[in-house]
Chain A
Amino acid sequence: MRREIPLLITGIVGVVFVIQYFIPHYPFNQLNNWFSDWFSIIAACAIWLGALNLLKVSANKIYRKREDWGFSIVIIVCFLIITIIGFAEGEGFRNIGTKFDWLYQYVYTPLSSTMFALLAFFVASASYRAFRARNFDATLLLVAAFLVMIGRVPVGDAIAMKLHLPLSIYPSEISSWIMNVFNTAGQRAIMIGIALGIVSTSLRVILGIERAHLGGD
């Protein structure tokens, strides 16, 4: 029963979602609304589950004194500070001027942006070390990247302007052409491939052939 009931739920929900797309009328629209609401509730619970799991993993790391366990202390302290302040300020905790808002604007936002900004350094370093014209394919990729990078910033056009190049070969024009033709074609191929994969996997899940989501084998 531990396997049959989840399989039955998955099958029924999957079939209802497929049917309601083509027949958006009673009872399928009603069932669709119910299932969507349940999904929202489960997703909201998953956020809590994620937060609690983070606490558990961090506490475990501190208890066992694993590598970089000091960072786990920072995680727990920050988690507790933001949660306590949020609860202490009541319903209007997100209003402008509250302590929670101050922490969000002046601590969380700059720290998150800093973490993301580090990407620029790694991208530059990785490009320097790994972006090589080793063969024809790599050269093609390198040239395309080169043109898109220079075309997506105004400095490319500024250089072209100084060199009195024809408008049709301005970096922005070439970059736009690459994005609209080659990129679009490639993205479409990827999307169609993914869509076919999703359809086949979904069918396997609905029919109970694919059981990985139940855990175990």
Chain B
Amino acid sequence: MLKQILVYALILALSLIGYFVITEPIILGPTASMVIIILIALVLLYILVRTIMGSFVGRRTVFTFVAIAVILPFFMTVDQPIKVSPEVQQLYDAVMALRPGSKVLVSFDYDPPSAPELQPMAESFFALCIERDLKIIIMGLWPQGPQQADLAMQTILREEAFAGKSWKYGTDYVNLGFQSGNEFVIQRMGGEIGSMFHNDFYGTPYDSLPLVRNIKNFSNIDFSFNLSAGYPGSVEWVQVAVDRYGLKMGAGNTAVQAPQMYPYLRAGQLTGLLGGLNGAAEFEKVTGRKAKGTRFMVSQSFSHVVVIAFIIIGNAAFFLGEKRRKKPEGETS
């Protein structure tokens, strides 16, 4: 217990020292970054050789490498070639095909744990909508969803690129807030959106909001984008809003949920899909606004490589163990 408290105290002390001593952000140049990458690769190679020689690493070593792979890239200058996949391009094309003034419904069906993956998507999507002069209607089937939407909108509106835009709440975008009831909310919205949202997120009555006053149901929505991390989410939106009411919809999902959406994408029920942080980075690439998604992708790349390296090391250990177990049998026979 005392040891644990000491470790936490040390981490806290180091963080405080870092906060007060380091005033400028540390960014390593391309050469220094490359040297660090080579050093990490050499250490991994050394672990592989040690494993082959019979000395296996513990899980603490794995944890240390994952931490290094996630944290170090934030301080490094690494340029990665991001290729835009067809599903991301499809979403971008669908948004670009909308006329200025079109109404876009964005449902935020996630909470803070999934924000690192989905928040960059939300911000890029908002940026594109504002750039294209599309009107945004926000809602959420998860309690924290509308709050995440608010954060994303504030981030975008603070950006220099949109400083000249007089983007007003109520006429250009509204946040209808959270409504409980999962897919039943979507079903009721198909008949009358106002029946599920009597007031917006800030308590303003639905009919007092100029943007949504004349919006009765999904037939008045030109496009929909769903950001989802589970249930209720994209699957329910496709099954009810798309399938039953013919709403045109794109989706942004966590990497865990994205594979589940491919059948809907292939069937044409989804118009574009952003899958995980990679999808966010690709969307940033296609919209030409490099932000969090692209930056975080370096960490993701590093961590994937580290996990792959440890899978190889683990398999080396497994086969060597098998070989050693079989050897005595061979000797006796």
Contacts and interface: CB of A to CB of B under 8 A. Distances in A.
B308 A157 contact: no
Interface in A157-211: 157-158, 161, 170, 172, 176, 179-180, 183-184, 187-188, 191
A131 B202 CA distance: 49
A133 interface: yes
Nearest to B300: A153
A170 B83 CA distance: 11
Given A29-B191, A113-B112, A155-B301, A125 B80 contact: no
Contact of A155 (B67, B255, B304): B304
Interface string B53-67: 000000100110111
B94 interface: no
B180 A47 contact: yes
B182 interface: yes
B262 A40 contact: no
B80 A124 contact: no
A186 to B, nearest CB: 9
Nearest to A116: B113
Nearest to B318: A132
B276 interface: yes
Interface string A16-40: 0000010000000100110011011
B263 A154 contact: no
Contact of B308 (A29, A47, A150): A150
Given A183-B262, A187-B260, A33 B300 contact: no
Nearest to B244: A21
B266 A123 contact: no
A180 B115 contact: no
A124 B263 contact: no
B259 interface: yes
Chain A interface SS verdict (over half) = helix
B236 interface: no
B83 A154 contact: yes
B259 A152 contact: no
Contact of B311 (A113, A115, A127, A176): A127
A146 interface: yes
Contacts of B308: 146, 149-150
B171 interface: no
A112 B113 CA distance: 5
B85 A176 contact: yes
Contact of A44 (B114, B180, B260, B307): B180
Interface stretch (A2-10, A61-69, A92-100): A92-100
Given A154-B82, A154-B83, A157-B81, A43 B315 contact: no
Interface of B: 59, 62-63, 65-67, 70, 80-83, 85-86, 111-116, 143-144, 146-147, 150-151, 154, 179-182, 184-185, 187-188, 191, 195-196, 201-203, 244, 255, 259-260, 262-263, 266, 275-276, 278, 281, 297, 300-308, 310-311, 313-315, 318
Given A150-B308, A158-B80, A184-B266, 20 more contacts: A33-B188, A39-B181, A39-B184, A40-B179, A40-B184, A40-B196, A46-B180, A94-B146, A96-B154, A101-B147, A108-B112, A116-B116, A120-B66, A121-B66, A124-B63, A128-B310, A131-B315, A146-B308, A154-B80, A157-B81
18 contacts: A29-B191, A32-B187, A33-B188, A91-B203, A96-B154, A109-B112, A112-B111, A112-B112, A115-B113, A117-B116, A125-B63, A128-B62, A128-B311, A152-B275, A153-B301, A158-B80, A183-B262, A184-B262
